[in-house]
Amino acid sequence: MEPTNLAELSGNIATVGYGLAAIGPGIGIGIVVGKTIESIARQPELSGKLQVTMWLGIAFTEALALIGLATYFIFTA
């Protein structure tokens, strides 16, 4: 196998790895938003507090995807 083919292969594997790493935060954000909507439907008077908590949950969950992206750049540099 030529070195260029190996580099292309490892680049493709890293891209697939990041794609798989982004699935978890995507599912997590869906769960956070879904549960917030369910909670607001049950107790509409708490919608302000629930929305703030939802945005915090989204931010922390999205940080996982950004860490996965940063890890790709750290290990390829």
- Provide the whole-model pTM: 0.69
Instruction: Quote the domain boundaries for residue 12.
Output: 3-76
Tell me, what CATH number does 57's domain have?
1.20.20.10
- Residues 36 and 54 sit within 8 Å (Cβ to Cβ): yes
Q: What's residue 12's pLDDT?
A: 65
Total domains in the chain come to: 1
pLDDT at residue number 33:
94
Phi and psi torsions of 43, nearest 5°: -135, 85
Provide mean pLDDT across the span 42-57.
95
pLDDT tier, 3 (very low <50, low <70, confident <90, very high otherwise): low
pLDDT higher than threshold 70 for residue 29: yes
